[in-house]
Structure 1
Amino acid sequence: SGPVQSQMQFPSGYGSHPPNYGVPSGHYSQVPSKAAASHLDNQYRAGYYPTYYSAPAQNVMTPSVGTNVLNTQQSQQLYNKAPPHTVGSAEGPIQGAISSASYLHTSAQQSYSAFGNHYSTSVSSSVASQGFPLNSGHYTMPMVSSAMYPNVSYPAAAGSVYGQAFTSQSLPAVGQFKETNTFSSQSTSVPHSVQQHVPVGCNSTLSTTSSVQSVQDNLSRNLTGLAAKVNNQINTGGVDSSQPMHSVSQSVPFTKPGAGTSASSAVMSSLRTPAPSLSSQPRSSPSVTQSPESTLQEGMQYGGYVNNQASSAPAPLSSSSDDEEEDEEDEEAAIDSSSTTSSASPVLNNYDALEGGGYPETRSVTSSPVPAPSGPQTSKASKPFGHGYPTLQPGYQNAAPPTPVQPGNPGRHPGFQHYPQKYPSVNQLSSSLGGLSLQHSQQPESLRPVNLTQDRNILPVSSVPAPVPNLNSDLRKLNCSPDSFRCTLTNIPQTQALLNKAKLPLGLLLHPFRDLTQLPVITSSTIVRCRSCRTYINPFVSFIDQRRWKCNLCYRVNDVPEEFMYNPLTRSYGEPHKRPEVQNSTVEFIASSDYMLRPPQPAVYLFVLDVSHNAVEAGYLTIVCQSLLENLDKLPGDSRTRIGFITFDSTVQFYNLQEGLSQPQMLIVSDIDDIFLPTPDSLLVNLHESKELIKDLLNALPNMFTNTRETHSALGPALQAAFKLMSPTGGRISVFQTQLPSLGAGLLHSREDPNQRSSTKVVQHLGPATDFYKKLALDCSGQQTAVDLFLLSSQYSDLASLACMSKYSAGCIYYYPSFHCTHNPAQAEKLQKDLKRYLTRKIGFEAVMRIRCTKGLSIHTFHGNFFVRSTDLLSLANVNPDAGFAVQMSIEESLTDTSLVCFQTALLYTSSKGERRIRVHTLCLPVVSSLADVYAGADVQAVVCLLANMAVDRSVSSSLSDARDALVNAVVDSLAAYMSTASNLQQSMLIAPNSLKLFPLYILALLKQKAFRTGMSTRLDDRVYAMCQMKSQPLVHLMKMIHPNLYRIDKLIDESTIHVNDRVVPQPPLQKLSAEKLTREGAFLMDCGSIFYIWIGKNCDNNFIKDVLGYPDYASVPQKMTQLPEVDALSSERTRSFISWLRDSRPLSPVLQVIKDENPAKTDFFQHLIEDRTEAAFSYYEFLLNIQQQICK
């Protein structure tokens, strides 16, 4: 009959700023990095680094225990250092052995109950002293100090059901240990409050056959030996050791008042390492829930900029979270399962009651007893496997390569009846993949060595495909599409040590809500999930028999519900393995009331419009109002859809659109210091009931402020009013701003120095000037409201500050520099097309997303626009199909007992029709034990996109130069590690595996992108917007932004073609991004993602110009041409067909711009030719020589 649904009571003042609301003075907290790596092999041991890894305290709302976070090197390595103490290396004062005194052993108790995201855990760890400096042959960077947030506290209102405030006085006592600086011989007393669990088995011996053991030993020695010379540095910023320690306190949300938990944060400063790096080896606690700081990002993590390290926000208003999704399921599970919880355990909060927790049975070291599984549960070494197939060697624990099982003589596990199944199970696959090593057979194409300095034509003729995981063909068919779910390594290393040796980042690129042409929707009343880790049933689980299935993430045996025995597709009974949930890796469930804390919200849209003199002059109001009129009936929603409008200049204007009025009423509030809603009940109206009044307002708005002389902009007060108006329901706020806010709360001052735009040294003000917009976004997120920003500005508008309103509320940012409806028609056209997509695309409200992975893997950093509610749960007030996310991962425990790992993301949201839905994606990848296999499975585009996200964070938390150096070091270290495994290589050769041959080219392209380029005039807002895009774009669109595609289009008739919807589409080959490929006789199309450039050579054939451009010759082509005419000629038809095909592949329609030699826009075009040398940047060949020189140091 389902669980009993408790009714939540919300205090009347919920969502407004609590009393004593502390606001941090800075925007981005300094992100602690890993402990300084010493030059010892112990660096690769699980216990070398503290295992806790935390998300910023101000960005996490979860019951947790105190955690100590070490602020270490300002610049280190992107992933991890090579083992500094290498074979044959001499130990000196810098490369010394770590004594036992350099480790600190602490302990802490953490309670967390099963099924409720609360399970007791006692963990311990060894924390290495940070007194061992890093030495690098790449760069020596100066010391940089970064400020931390001051004390922040969010006390809850009296009687609030969401929790109580915690202050530093309530924190547990912290221990102290001495940190020794070997450079200065000084000792610093550092607080350390929690002992972390040390993952076991990180140094376990890789399982290989005896025939290749010696080869792998040689590879390991070569790699280790090189590591002494080449140090991989890419890590987060640290702080000067003289900086004081700051503590951060925050309130933790609960379902019931009175439940107590403690949270502490201690930040230790230490020396910065000599060379920058984007990320370090994460320190992850095995516990699913960690202290707020326990998810602080290391390495190239850039504070709140990417990981939404926001101060605590009010607990969410609604039940729309993946946390909700699991927590309600957990409540349901708790009905017939018992668990023991310590009396000190925190009570479930709203979100953690719906989406559920992690591994209460498997992760706790001293957890309380859990109920026995419904079926026989064996030890890990003898787990039964089957998935409806004859039992083979256990797929998740084959320590040695299993012997292939003959299909004709299947082995059977005693005691289990087996059922036929269409596809092989994970366990069958495991038997054939368990001993997989690419070195056993002929070398695959992905490992073919490529001499980068000699082979100049490495760019493929067509787009680079995603690598295919080395899986059984049947499982490969079932695997998730790389367009939705992609991993940087399609072969997962068996241990963290092996991952460290490869010098490549492990992470996921997600596009969870993308538009799909085919999506299985499950309407069954029963959603089958693992009772332990809450994983949704998927194609990679194992059916032991007809009544039991084994989870592919935590290995628990679960019962098959009676309802699941019936297959609605085949209308048959007794074949659960043929259900659509088990045949599709991407599915969507219609959620029941168990996944709701309140009735699903209606679609609510509020438009906040700048009507100052600057806005009227730009002319954007006409375009916005016209687009709204055209798409009013297409807004996603149902009969409950509501809409409202606010305009502002030096005052704030509201519009009464209540049904029954003869015309809209304007209500002006001039007291911007004490903003209020004049008629709260009539400002958001039903779209269908008041449609005529809404149309009247949209027709009148462009002319209402024509003669205004108000030059000021009270954006802050208008947003405060919008928040008050939207708080009761949640929804979407669309803000249109044209200048720097100059009045009231949130006013900003110009920080850009035009003379510093071309600086090659320090780029300042990449972070916000005030916390007002960030705090407002957190308040909005707590009330399930997202804020989307449209910035249409001709001058500096401090996007670094304004962008916070969208980044922390899961909103979107659109930027139109130099916007003017008549003087810049290209931007006006782009706004019109973007609005059409924006207003009509699918939208999800009050959403949450959780990512789960096979036991042994852990998530430690998120990238994108969202609010981190707990260590693995993202709160998304709105979710849209154009948003992408990135995740950094680490290997917490050795994966020697499994040959396959799986990742699953679950997105719980409310559709515009008021349905609660859960979209689930599941990805399966093989585990490998050799370094060659790791390189063979590298996905170079995913690696580059993840590094771009990390570099953005590093730019904000540290400096742009550190981020650039870290990107270069990422290439140096990975290629050096690969070359160390190969024999007979000459020093004059720069060799990369075929899978990584484009790595240096893509990194060079990234360095020349607006976000990271130096020595070239770049407006600050342009740079910040490029960084925002990198944080929120899906991989497919981000790659076009990083490395555009260049095609020759004056000879499309001769090219091969494809047929799409009865349309013939030419497929010209890709050209190198170099001027040497441009000819005066040709015409070229450059696809930069958001803009198309058509470059016309001076001697281009007049027939092409006439047929395609519609002009008789080159001289008559106008300077600002943005449209191609429809001419009845084959070349015109083919060109327009090709461009239309490219446009159809992306959500936002790019603007087209025709470029001639004398056109001012040609500068932008030539800046995208990244293989050519510029005054401030290497050519591609020079960059390769630079990489080779650093490797040979």
Structure 2
Amino acid sequence: MSDYQLYHALGQGGPNDDPSNPNPSGQPVPPQFQQPGGPAPYQQTGANYNHNPQGQPQQYGNPQMGQPAPYQGQHDQGYATNPNQSGVSQDPGLASQMGGLGLGEAASHGRKKKKDRHAYHTVEAPGGSSAAFNGMPQGAVPASAYLNADPSAMPSAPGGQFMNQPVTPQMSQFPAAANAPFNPANPTSPVEFASRNGTADQAFGASVQTSAQGRVDPDQIPSVPRSRDAISQYYLSNVYPTFEHHLPPPASVAFVAFDQGNSSPKFTRLTMNNIPSTSDALQSTGLPLGLLLQPLAPLQAGELEIPVLDFGDVGPPRCHRCRAYINPFMVFRSGGNKFVCNMCNYANDVPPEYFCAITPQGARVDREQRPELMRGTVEFLVPKEYWSKEPVGIRWLFLIDVGQEAFNKGFLEAFCEGVMVALYGKDGSEDERKIPEGAKVGFVTFDKDIHFYNMNPALDQAQMLIMPDIEDPFLPLSDGLFVDPYEAKSNITSLLTQLPALFSQVKNPEPALLPTLTAALAALEKTGGKIVCSLSALPTWGPGRLFLRDDGKQHGDAEKKLFTTEHPGWRKVADKMVAAGVGVDFFLAAPGGGYLDIATIGHVSASTGGETFYYPNFVAPRDSAKLSQEIMHTVTRETGYQALMKVRCSNGLQISSYHGNFIQHTFGADIEFGVVDADKAMGAMFSYDGKLDAKLDAHFQSALLYTTASGQRRVRCSNVIASVSDNAKDCMKFVDQDAVYALIAKEAASKMTSNSLKDIRGALTEKNVDILAGYRKNFSGSHPPGQLVLPENLKEFSMYILGLIKSRAFKGGQEPTDRRVHDMRMIKSMGALELSLYLYPRMIPIHNLLPEDGFPDPESGHLRMPPSIRDSFSRVEEGGVYLIDNGQNCYLWMHAQTSPNLIVDLFGEDKDTLKSLDPFSSSLPVLQTHLSAQVRNILEYLKTMRGSKALTIQLARQGLDGAEYEFARLLVEDRNNEAQSYVDWLVHIHRHVQLELTGQRKKEDSGDNSIASNFAGLRPPYW
């Protein structure tokens, strides 16, 4: 495959350029800097993929049933077949009542043609609508929406700061007064707001009645795909300025953030960017107050690099009372001799070496030359007093299972190849370093015995040292275990190539994992580092041997005991690793999908901040590519070790809990990681210990102390600011939906070891009801009782909660314990982007792509992505082919009547039927066809929108492949996974909201009993 460019290059254009935008703004588009777009990816010589010779898109339909109707490219024409074509009758009475479910359209009483809705919603301004800007092209916000308004403190024109600037311009931030209010620029009057967004008395609502004869139109309920696609178009040509706009873009949208002193939402997301001043006001909303943190999140092309600052032996300036680090919101006074902490309001003396005069407005003269006073996220090099041990380049220790199962299933060979690719590239000839200077690697193999390897470059080949005494493991060598991978390249490649043959005749069936981890800890104890360990069988040999605990018959309270480990040896090793600054990533391949006791094994990786990559039914031809890519990602992503984190907040707030994969020894203590990487996220929940002053702002600062892979001890600080309001109604306008459901999910996952799954599902349902009932009761104004009123910023929240209830971690019914525990720990460490896809997968039809889909736009250079569709089998067409990606796996589902022409265009001329395809293929061949280039370009784009899991395709041919069951499970809007359909779920939630409003609601323990609601399945499920 040829090289390709990222498809998020900044171009020109904005919401006003969208001809389908029903709410165009009268303002001119602010000037934006632009980046030239490259040629179309995968444009092979001699092939023209950018136009169709006939001028029409190639359509692939059912050869027996005729061609399915192509998409017309119009917004909200359904993205799918007409509901009446699938045999679903529509009741005119209820359908007319439900017409009001459209965005910004009151309930109507007559049958009307479906309105051409767009994602630019018309909602009520005073009642908690999304007045805040989050990328949706809408009018400016009324001044009343922003408390503490101070227009003179902000740039004169939003977006103007980007005029004639390079891709990474220097910002001139306003000189802030002490505890300056945090407000966007250029607020507008309520009259202007109403003129741009329609009348203020319209509500996002629906007339929901539980009648067995009526049916709700699923097209009228909030659509996750439509919301994602609409906002993503805006951020293709616009930058997100972190201080001017209160509401961040959705997590699933690619955007370029410009750090203006408030940290990018890629690093930090607050659940509420306008915070109630009292605990009672927060409780009336039902929302959690918390911070989602991904401190080492990767940056996108065009974003400013994180500045690294060195203050020498004295270290960075800090508040003497609360120990907060210097940041843009600390204010200097007394001629520059004092700085006031924005967390605790303590006036500190400025160190002599840091002194600088201030302007009459109170800003330091050198402010613009001080990144710590201009940027929301910075890194400080710290002196020796911050060291736990001498920092060195990270040590990678690969522990390779060479037992019988690993050899038989090809896992050993695939893992060795993956390590070589991670270090030296696919053909082994790449000289570019994959790991930084100073980093070293070592190798250990194990079955019943443990084998260390002396990789000294002076040796002709690696030397094996066997340690048979696994009862008391020790380190048999000190020199030669860790080497520079490029100095010892010949020894390393020779060893990894020969390992499968070397152990082909040994085949010990029982690996001794815990003794191997103990020996690895001894090797890394002095320096810290990271262990990458493969395992393909239940470790039943030696100390810490495990047994088959899951017999499939334990449910309820007994089942939760299987979600954790009770083995003291494994807990002890995990604690020692964290103390030594060591973390573990596991690559687990279950024998035939059998039991591995991930609850015990994964406890080590979860406690140390590592990750578990799980292949429940590993098949080498299909899964080797995915394994190789994930090993490479593990080694090359930004990684730190010996890590501590602390979150500080303003007076009046306090940390109530942390959620994630780490160790916290006592309540209120710092959270500790053996390792931390770019994909890991954690949540911090806050509670009130007083009343917040609405005249001041609330401030939050996270500080991650860690050692980089190159061997530098640093602190990464991220600073977030939020306004404070006495009116909780105003706070509903600035809710971050992604942060809300992410923190709820992490909190629910942390309770799996103490609460039953039924109770957790019930609690999630109750939380959903509490939030919607609180909004309806306190903030939404007067609406008919039968109307379901959803907050504008939480329109899709109920769908995400339903996706969480349907996830493997929490779903009802039978589910292997290993799968549950793996997904539970994965949820605890997921970032916002990865969790968004996990709860609502992206599904794209590829059988009716337009000719320009999958190629860069000739004007902007951005890849034209086809619209995604709802995750429902009702949207699947006869003869259709669909990609569905949940951020963990990507399935290519092919209808039984898929056109032979499509199969040939995707897989080659020798493949013209579904049965002729290789069921174990994991990628598409590079063909000189228009469709092949389109789909491969789309897949390359999807690779940029993921977390730690590699993207390879898995075929799911209707009626042929077992992966078809996985495809069906991902259709989260249908009735499946022991839970309701999306429509039934909204009806169920609305019924409980009505009961809450009338005072008749009883807390339920689970939503399971309401699966058979009065509404029959509106759309036929997959089966």
**TM norm structure 2:** 0.70
Q: Which amino acid aligns with 1:1019?
A: P
1:1141 aligns with 2:941: yes
Q: What does the per-residue CA deviation read over 1:1086-1128, in whole Å, with 9 as the maximum and x for residues that have no partner? A: 1210211222234444443332333564444444442212222
Match of 1:535 in 2: 324
Q: Distance in 1 between matches of 2:271 and 2:587?
A: 32
**CA pair 401-781 structure 1, distance change in 2 beyond 3 A:** closer
8 Å contact kept, 1:1045–1:1071: yes
Q: Which amino acid aligns with 2:976?
A: T
SS of residue in 1 equivalent to 2:181: helix
1:1059 to partner: Cα distance: 4.0
1:925 aligns with 2:722: yes
State which of 829, 832, 835 in structure 2 corresponds to 1:1032: 829
Q: Distance in 1 between matches of 2:847 and 2:180?
A: 50
1:590 aligns with 2:341: no
8 Å contact kept, 2:811–2:977: no
Q: How do 1:332-411 and structure 2 match up within 5 A?
A: none
Q: How do 1:676-691 and structure 2 match up within 5 A?
A: 676-685=474-483, 687=485, 690-691=488-489
Q: What does the per-residue CA deviation read over 1:4-43, in whole Å, with 9 as the maximum and x for residues that have no partner? A: xxxxxxxxxxxxxxxxxxxxxxxxxxxxxxxxxxxxxxxx
1:656 to partner: Cα distance: 3.1
State which of 942, 965, 988 in structure 2 corresponds to 1:1186: 988
Match of 2:266 in 1: 483
State which of 287, 292, 308 in structure 2 corresponds to 1:521: 308
Count of aligned pairs: 778
Match of 2:118 in 1: none
**CA pair 450-628 structure 1, distance change in 2 beyond 3 A:** same
**CA pair 966-1060 structure 1, distance change in 2 beyond 3 A:** farther
1:779 to partner: Cα distance: 0.6
1:767 aligns with 2:518: no
Q: How do 1:118-137 and structure 2 match up within 5 A?
A: none
State which of 596, 600, 603 in structure 2 corresponds to 1:804: 603
SS of residue in 1 equivalent to 2:850: helix
Match of 2:866 in 1: 1068
1:637 to partner: Cα distance: 5.4
Match of 1:826 in 2: 622
Match of 1:664 in 2: 462
Q: Distance in 1 between matches of 2:605 and 2:482?
A: 22
Q: Distance in 2 between matches of 1:733 and 1:1051?
A: 46
Q: How do 1:88-103 and structure 2 match up within 5 A?
A: none
1:421 to partner: Cα distance: 7.2
8 Å contact kept, 2:153–2:174: no
Q: How do 1:768-917 and structure 2 match up within 5 A?
A: 768-794=565-591, 795-821=594-620, 825-868=621-664, 871-896=668-693, 898-917=695-714
Q: Distance in 1 between matches of 2:422 and 2:393?
A: 18
Q: Distance in 1 between matches of 2:284 and 2:379?
A: 39
Q: Which amino acid aligns with 2:648?
A: R
1:1022 aligns with 2:819: yes
State which of 1165, 1171, 1190 in structure 1 corresponds to 2:973: 1171
**CA pair 934-1058 structure 1, distance change in 2 beyond 3 A:** farther
SS of residue in 2 equivalent to 1:449: coil
**CA pair 659-932 structure 1, distance change in 2 beyond 3 A:** same
Match of 1:459 in 2: 224
Q: How do 1:252-267 and structure 2 match up within 5 A?
A: none
Q: How do 1:43-192 and structure 2 match up within 5 A?
A: none
Match of 1:154 in 2: none
Match of 2:763 in 1: 966
SS of residue in 1 equivalent to 2:298: coil
8 Å contact kept, 1:489–1:506: yes
1:511 to partner: Cα distance: 0.9
1:527 to partner: Cα distance: 2.3
State which of 762, 768, 793 in structure 2 corresponds to 1:995: 793
Q: Which amino acid aligns with 2:308?
A: V
1:1064 to partner: Cα distance: 5.5
1:826 to partner: Cα distance: 2.7
Q: What does the per-residue CA deviation read over 1:263-295, in whole Å, with 9 as the maximum and x for residues that have no partner? A: xxxxxxxxxxxxxxxxxxxxxxxxxxxxxxxxx
Q: Distance in 1 between matches of 2:207 and 2:871?
A: 16
Q: Which amino acid aligns with 1:625?
A: C
8 Å contact kept, 1:1127–1:1133: yes
**CA pair 672-433 structure 1, distance change in 2 beyond 3 A:** closer
Q: Distance in 1 between matches of 2:895 and 2:918?
A: 14
Q: How do 1:935-950 and structure 2 match up within 5 A?
A: 935-950=732-747
Q: Distance in 2 between matches of 1:993 and 1:880?
A: 35
Q: Distance in 1 between matches of 2:464 and 2:182?
A: 72
Q: How do 1:670-749 and structure 2 match up within 5 A?
A: 670-685=468-483, 687=485, 690-749=488-547
Q: Which amino acid aligns with 1:533?
A: C
Match of 1:344 in 2: none
Match of 1:617 in 2: 408
Q: Distance in 1 between matches of 2:664 and 2:179?
A: 38
State which of 442, 448, 452 in structure 2 corresponds to 1:644: 442
Q: Distance in 2 between matches of 1:595 and 1:855?
A: 26
1:1164 to partner: Cα distance: 0.7
1:424 to partner: Cα distance: 5.0
Match of 2:958 in 1: 1157
Q: Which amino acid aligns with 2:715?
A: I
Match of 1:600 in 2: 391
Q: How do 1:538-557 and structure 2 match up within 5 A?
A: 538-544=327-333, 545-557=335-347
Q: Distance in 2 between matches of 1:619 and 1:984?
A: 65
Q: Which amino acid aligns with 2:937?
A: S
8 Å contact kept, 2:648–2:702: yes
1:439 to partner: Cα distance: 10
Q: Distance in 1 between matches of 2:989 and 2:967?
A: 27
Q: Which amino acid aligns with 2:226?
A: V
Q: Which amino acid aligns with 2:786?
A: S
Deviation larger for 846-855 or 1110-1119 = 1110-1119
Q: Distance in 2 between matches of 1:675 and 1:614?
A: 24
Q: Distance in 2 between matches of 1:877 and 1:785?
A: 4
Q: Which amino acid aligns with 1:556?
A: Y
Q: What does the per-residue CA deviation read over 1:801-852, in whole Å, with 9 as the maximum and x for residues that have no partner? A: 111111112222111111132xxx3322210110111122222122222211
SS of residue in 2 equivalent to 1:980: helix
Q: Distance in 2 between matches of 1:1145 and 1:522?
A: 30
1:1138 to partner: Cα distance: 1.5
1:469 to partner: Cα distance: 11
Q: Distance in 2 between matches of 1:784 and 1:671?
A: 26
Match of 2:291 in 1: 508
**CA pair 745-894 structure 1, distance change in 2 beyond 3 A:** same
1:949 to partner: Cα distance: 1.0
Q: Distance in 2 between matches of 1:1063 and 1:529?
A: 45
8 Å contact kept, 2:564–2:599: yes
1:753 aligns with 2:567: no
**TM norm structure 1:** 0.61
Q: What does the per-residue CA deviation read over 1:716-773, in whole Å, with 9 as the maximum and x for residues that have no partner? A: 111121122221222112221111111222111112224669x999565112241322
Q: What does the per-residue CA deviation read over 1:91-126, in whole Å, with 9 as the maximum and x for residues that have no partner? A: xxxxxxxxxxxxxxxxxxxxxxxxxxxxxxxxxxxx
**CA pair 641-1055 structure 1, distance change in 2 beyond 3 A:** closer
Structure 1: gaps (5+ residues): 1-214, 220-397, 409-419
Q: Distance in 2 between matches of 1:739 and 1:579?
A: 54
Q: Distance in 1 between matches of 2:148 and 2:404?
A: 75
Q: Distance in 1 between matches of 2:455 and 2:853?
A: 57
**CA pair 433-1072 structure 1, distance change in 2 beyond 3 A:** closer
**CA pair 804-437 structure 1, distance change in 2 beyond 3 A:** farther
Q: Which amino acid aligns with 1:835?
A: I
Q: Distance in 2 between matches of 1:1182 and 1:642?
A: 55
8 Å contact kept, 1:651–1:670: yes
Deviation larger for 445-454 or 1097-1106 = 445-454
Q: Which amino acid aligns with 2:574?
A: A
Q: What does the per-residue CA deviation read over 1:218-277, in whole Å, with 9 as the maximum and x for residues that have no partner? A: 99xxxxxxxxxxxxxxxxxxxxxxxxxxxxxxxxxxxxxxxxxxxxxxxxxxxxxxxxxx
Q: Distance in 2 between matches of 1:452 and 1:459?
A: 21
Q: Which amino acid aligns with 1:553?
A: M
Match of 1:1007 in 2: 805
Match of 1:1050 in 2: 847
Q: What does the per-residue CA deviation read over 1:158-210, in whole Å, with 9 as the maximum and x for residues that have no partner? A: xxxxxxxxxxxxxxxxxxxxxxxxxxxxxxxxxxxxxxxxxxxxxxxxxxxxx
Q: Distance in 2 between matches of 1:407 and 1:805?
A: 50
